[in-house]
Structure 1
Amino acid sequence: MNHLEVLRREAELLVMSAIGQPPHKGVPACPGLNLGETVRHIGGGYRGALAWIRLGREPEIGEWPDFPEPGEDSLEFMRSGADAVIAELEAHDEDEPCATWWPDQQNYGFWRRRLAHETTMHRMDVQGAAGMEVGAVDDEVAIDGVDEVLTLWLGHKLDVLGVRGSRDSLVTIQVEDHLWLTRCGPRGASAWRVIDPEDTHVADAQVSADPMTMYRWLWGRLPDRMVEVVGDHDAIAQLWALLRLATK
Structure 2
Amino acid sequence: METAQLIAILDTEGQLLATAAEEAGTETKVPTCPGWQVRDLVRHTGMVHRWATAFVAERHTSYHPDEGLPDLDGTELMTWFREGHRRLVDTLAGAPADVDCWSFLPAPSPLAFWARRQAHETTVHRYDAESALGGTPSPIAVDFAIDGIDELLFGFHARKKSAVRTEVPRVLRVRAEDTDAVWTVRLSPEPPISERGELADADCELMGPAADLYLSLWNRRPFSGVTGDPALATLWRETSAITWSGPARR
Equivalent residues of 2:158, 2:192 under 8 A apart? yes
SS at match of 1:19: helix
**CA distance 1:105–1:169, shift in 2 (3 Å):** farther
Query: Size of the alignment, in residue pairs?
Result: 235
Please identify, of 162-171 and 66-75, the stretch whose mean Cα deviation from structure 2 is larger: 66-75
Aligned to 1:146: 149
Equivalent residues of 2:156, 2:162 under 8 A apart? no
Aligned to 1:171: 172
Aligned to 1:81: 84
Q: Which structure 2 residues correspond to residues 179-190 of structure 1 after superposition, within 5 A?
A: 179-190=182-193
Q: Deviations over 1:188-228 (max 9, x none)?
A: 2222212xx3x242x2111110011111100111124xx21
Equivalent residues of 2:105, 2:156 under 8 A apart? no
Match of 1:236 among 225, 233, 236: 233
Q: Distance in 2 between matches of 1:207 and 1:19?
A: 35
Q: Distance in 1 between matches of 2:120 and 2:162?
A: 24
Please identify, of 207-216 and 21-30, the stretch whose mean Cα deviation from structure 2 is larger: 21-30
Q: Distance in 2 between matches of 1:19 and 1:154?
A: 33
The RMSD of aligned alpha carbons is: 2.2
Equivalent residues of 1:47, 1:66 under 8 A apart? no
Match of 1:44 among 20, 44, 47: 47
Q: TM-score, normalised by structure 1?
A: 0.86
Equivalent residues of 2:173, 2:205 under 8 A apart? yes
- Among the aligned pairs, what percent are the same residue? 27
Poorly superposed stretches of 4+, deviation over 3 Å: 69-72, 93-97, 103-106
Q: Deviations over 1:105-129 (max 9, x none)?
A: 5510001011001111111111110
Match of 1:121 among 118, 121, 124: 124
Q: Distance in 2 between matches of 1:57 and 1:234?
A: 39
Q: CA deviation at 1:145?
A: 1.4
**CA distance 1:219–1:163, shift in 2 (3 Å):** closer
Q: Distance in 2 between matches of 1:24 and 1:96?
A: 39
Q: Deviations over 1:154-196 (max 9, x none)?
A: 222xx1x3646232221010003101111222122222212xx
Q: Counterpart of 1:142 in structure 2: which amino acid?
A: A
Q: Counterpart of 2:166 in structure 1: which amino acid?
A: S
Please identify, of 12-21 and 82-91, the stretch whose mean Cα deviation from structure 2 is larger: 12-21
Q: Distance in 1 between matches of 2:89 and 2:17?
A: 15
SS at match of 2:157: helix
Find out whether 1:59 has 2:64 as its counterpart: yes
Equivalent residues of 1:142, 1:212 under 8 A apart? yes
Q: Which structure 1 residue ranges, 5 or more long, are not aligned? A: none
Q: Counterpart of 1:240 in structure 2: which amino acid?
A: R
Aligned to 1:35: 38
Q: Deviations over 1:11-37 (max 9, x none)?
A: 111112222432121111221111111
**CA distance 1:212–1:247, shift in 2 (3 Å):** farther
Equivalent residues of 2:175, 2:205 under 8 A apart? yes
Q: Counterpart of 1:59 in structure 2: which amino acid?
A: H
Equivalent residues of 1:153, 1:247 under 8 A apart? no
Find out whether 1:213 has 2:215 as its counterpart: no
Q: CA deviation at 1:98?
A: 2.6
Q: CA deviation at 1:49?
A: 0.9
Equivalent residues of 1:139, 1:211 under 8 A apart? yes
Q: Distance in 2 between matches of 1:144 and 1:213?
A: 13
Q: TM-score, normalised by structure 2?
A: 0.85
Match of 2:194 among 180, 184, 191: 191
